[in-house]
Amino acid sequence: MKGLCSPLVLLLAVLGRLGEGSWTDGHSLTRRGADNSGLESFVRHRYPTVVAFGDYLYVDGGELLQQTNGTETNSTQLGQSYSLSALNSTLSLRLDEAWTNETVKFRSIPKTAPLLDQQIYWTDTPINTFYTWGGMAVGTATPPANELWLFNADGTGGGAWSQVPQGDFRDFSRLRRPVGSSFTQTARVGYALGGQVTSKTDRSIQKEDPGYAVPGLVSYDFQTGQWTNISTAGYQGYGTNLNGQAEYVPFGPNGLLLFFGGAEAPVDATAGSIVQLSWNMLTLYDPVTGKWYTQLTNGMRPPLVERACSVGVEGPNNTYEIFIYGGTSDQWGVVSSDVYVLSLPGFIFFKADSLGTRRADHACVVVGKGKRQMLSYGGVDGGSGLRSTTTTPDPWRQGIGIFDMTEMKWMDSYDPNATNYDVPAQVSSWYVEGGMNNVMWTSDEVKQLFLNGSSITYGATSNSSSTENSDSSHSGRRIGGIVGGTVGGVIFISVTCAVAFLLLRRRRRRQSAISEEISEYRPEPWPKDTPRLRSTTPGTMMTLEPTPIEPVEISGTARGELPGEDVDWTYELPVPTPRTRPELPDRKYTF
Ligand SMILES: *[C@@H]1O[C@H](CO)[C@@H](O)[C@H](O)[C@H]1NC(C)=O
Ligand SMILES: *[C@@H]1O[C@H](CO)[C@@H](O)[C@H](O)[C@H]1NC(C)=O
Ligand SMILES: *[C@@H]1O[C@H](CO)[C@@H](O)[C@H](O)[C@H]1NC(C)=O
Ligand SMILES: *[C@@H]1O[C@H](CO)[C@@H](O)[C@H](O)[C@H]1NC(C)=O
Ligand SMILES: *[C@@H]1O[C@H](CO)[C@@H](O)[C@H](O)[C@H]1NC(C)=O
Ligand SMILES: *[C@@H]1O[C@H](CO)[C@@H](O)[C@H](O)[C@H]1NC(C)=O
Ligand SMILES: *[C@@H]1O[C@H](CO)[C@@H](O)[C@H](O)[C@H]1NC(C)=O
Ligand SMILES: *[C@@H]1O[C@H](CO)[C@@H](O)[C@H](O)[C@H]1NC(C)=O
Ligand SMILES: *[C@@H]1O[C@H](CO)[C@@H](O)[C@H](O)[C@H]1NC(C)=O
């Protein structure tokens, strides 16, 4: 598998193919053919949307590079051996049975929504629905009007598409149609930061890629149908973000949106003005108070990348880990094959030793009951907008990889019964060895958000903890006490980071004027399967009444070092969540 990843294996001159096929009428239903997909002809699937509900995984959107009849795979004669076209249908895959990528079988579901690359997608878990918004027209197609679509899964591997009527048409119609936004969600609100608008994403834009970088954080409330566009004036240099990642993390009273990776550019972007963002300092947003924060990171940070994929998973001891796979790196000049994990609240990065395959413009999602496996689907290792101008055929059959997040290694097969996710050994030893003592909080406010009410037991093993603990009416105190006193270091680190950041900014992105395809992609998250809250009839969304929000309290016992040190804790969640996994204010990964 390693050999196949060699950049020398440039089998396919896909530049100018992935992204400019002959598909001219992307969203006209009448002209839409069936996919002639299948294991035999699969070469690559770029820009997919991947969502899991209950026992099924759904794959939608993007473009398929397929092998046509009977020619050798090392042909460079494009168009003879290979074809590139939009995925015409939505695919589904069973997650309740074991498979390998040799045996996996997709089912094809007819699709009436526009065929697009790199869509923004949000899942409304309680009603088995995912929404798609934005995205880029495939090939030479013109982009559709600004529309929000939803796919309503039927729970048996099928489902139906419908357009969502807009109750908040005034605000919706003001929005541009972006691609490459960093998106995530809470249980009931979807968020998309930045992105780009080009002639291939928005009919009102003439400028070709890279078009305009979009400032603002757009939100869409699934229940009220309300759209907002929140100012990002304080975010990074321009308030813009291209092809980055976002995760909702369950810390603080309201949960926080964490933004990482990707690039920034001035609004009137040029290929040379796009600069990939540093990992040294990550940005956080409190969706309830509307406050922005930053926090420094430590450990083995990934190379600067765009178009990676990420998933988030909660550890058994109240850490929250974010796994980041692949992405294209200007810094390293390649598409990355590595998986990194960022653990919160430690803000510490680790790298997996297990070798993956180079991949960008793919999507990831947590699968299996134990939420221990990350499924990566699709992606390319070259093509327009990436460092290499050509992509190789996917070294993974059908573009599927399974990563065991506890073992931190790539697996040969999917196991629906894999045991529960536990924190990887190197991450837990960092906490056990007192790593939290060295976290440099950028402010007391951020520290409070991450440690107040926390029941993390790691790092609290110092011998002084029993005394510090004596007044803890809320358990976060224990860590808070240990972490104090490191503020001086913050200044030094900040200066170091600022210098590093300035150096990085100088780095010009790509020398060549290769036309840059927009992208990003999002891995994702999702769902649980208790249908409720509102009608699942497609197309009736906007008539829904807003449901009153009741805070949800959860509680438990944090294990102390000694039995006598156990601490009871409660945690108030911002939104009602499906009762199957009440501990996350947000996304559900349960099956
Ligand atoms: C989608 O339909 C078109 C038109 O029939 C066809 O040319 C194309 O190959 C189909 N896409 C796939 C992935 O098969
Ligand atoms: C390839 O050719 C075989 C017969 O030679 C035919 O059955 C098959 O459908 C063809 N496949 C494609 C993708 O055209
Ligand atoms: C394809 O690769 C094989 C083995 O690597 C080689 O013998 C053959 O000549 C190649 N064909 C073309 C058209 O390059
Ligand atoms: C998973 O567990 C279920 C129930 O225990 C069992 O029926 C099924 O065979 C298991 N599947 C695999 C692949 O082990
Ligand atoms: C959000 O607002 C900003 C500032 O007004 C604007 O430039 C941007 O285009 C808006 N975002 C979208 C997606 O329309
Ligand atoms: C997928 O296929 C490749 C090659 O066939 C194999 O090396 C890899 O281990 C497989 N991965 C999974 C998750 O099955
Ligand atoms: C800290 O916890 C207390 C008690 O749980 C709560 O009242 C307070 O609002 C919390 N502060 C922050 C910043 O979360
Ligand atoms: C903590 O206490 C244990 C015994 O209670 C002792 O063995 C250990 O050396 C102490 N560690 C530190 C860092 O003081
Ligand atoms: C997590 O906490 C449990 C008890 O709550 C403990 O048994 C386990 O060792 C902890 N995990 C790690 C990695 O420390």
The string of pLDDT tens digits covering residues 378-422 is: 999 998 889 888 889 999 999 999 999 999 999 999 999 999 999
**Residue 506 and residue 360 share a domain:** no
Last residue of a domain, one of 400, 425, 450: 425
> Does 74 sit in the ligand 3 pocket, CB within 6 Å?
yes
* Beta carbons of 578 and 126 less than 8 angstroms apart: yes
**Residue 416 and residue 538 share a domain:** no
* Beta carbons of 158 and 172 less than 8 angstroms apart: no
Whether 3 is covered by a domain: the verdict is: no
Whether 21 is covered by a domain: the verdict is: yes
Q: What is the pLDDT of residue 453?
A: 61
Least confident stretch, 183-197, 429-443, 486-500, 512-526: 512-526
Fill in the DSSP letter of residue 423.
-
Last residue of a domain, one of 384, 405, 425: 425
* Beta carbons of 13 and 52 less than 8 angstroms apart: no
Condensed to tens digits (0 to 9), the pLDDT of residues 460-514 reads 333 333 333 333 333 332 232 222 323 333 334 344 434 343 333 333 343 332 2
Whether 108 is covered by a domain: the verdict is: yes
What's the gap in Å between 561 CA and the centre of ligand 8?
A: 12
pLDDT (mean) for 57-69: 90
pLDDT confidence bin for 452, thresholds 50/70/90: confident
**Residue 343 and residue 203 share a domain:** yes
CA nearest ligand 2 atom 11, residue:
69
pLDDT (mean) for 77-93: 80
What's the gap in Å between 255 CA and the centre of ligand 5?
A: 24
Ligand 4 atom nearest 98 alpha carbon: 13
Q: What is the pLDDT of residue 510?
A: 36
Q: What is the pLDDT of residue 260?
A: 98
Nearest to 587 by CA among 216, 229, 222, 312: 312
Residues lining ligand 2, judged by CB closer than 6 Å?
36, 41, 68-69
pLDDT (mean) for 17-34: 43
Least confident stretch, 327-341, 370-384, 481-495: 481-495
Ligand 6 atom nearest 400 alpha carbon: 13
**Residue 235 and residue 352 share a domain:** yes
> Does 98 sit in the ligand 4 pocket, CB within 6 Å?
yes
**Residue 528 and residue 414 share a domain:** no
Whether 94 is covered by a domain: the verdict is: yes
Whether 453 is covered by a domain: the verdict is: no
CA nearest ligand 1 atom 4, residue:
33
Query: Is the per-residue pLDDT at 566 higher than 60?
Result: no
Whether 506 is covered by a domain: the verdict is: yes
What's the gap in Å between 72 CA and the centre of ligand 2?
A: 14
* Beta carbons of 213 and 266 less than 8 angstroms apart: yes
**Residue 283 and residue 372 share a domain:** yes
CA nearest ligand 9 atom 14, residue:
428
Q: How does 147-159 read in b/e, with b if 16+ C-beta sit within 10 Å?
A: bbbbbbbeeebbb
Residue 588 lies in domain: 484-591
**Residue 217 and residue 331 share a domain:** yes
CA nearest ligand 9 atom 12, residue:
428
**Residue 212 and residue 104 share a domain:** yes
CA nearest ligand 1 atom 14, residue:
35
**Residue 373 and residue 298 share a domain:** yes
**Residue 496 and residue 417 share a domain:** no
Query: Is the per-residue pLDDT at 10 higher than 90?
Result: no
DSSP letters spanning 133-167: E--EE-TTPPPPPS--EEEEE-SSS-EEEEEPP-T
**Residue 542 and residue 415 share a domain:** no
Q: What is the pLDDT of residue 37?
A: 58
Pairing of strands 348-351, 298-299: parallel
Pairing of strands 217-221, 227-230: antiparallel
pLDDT (mean) for 71-79: 46
**Based on the structure, what is the number of domains in the chain?**
2
pLDDT (mean) for 214-219: 98
Whether 442 is covered by a domain: the verdict is: no
Last residue of a domain, one of 374, 391, 425: 425
CATH of the domain at 355: 2.120.10.80
Whether 461 is covered by a domain: the verdict is: no
**Residue 524 and residue 390 share a domain:** no
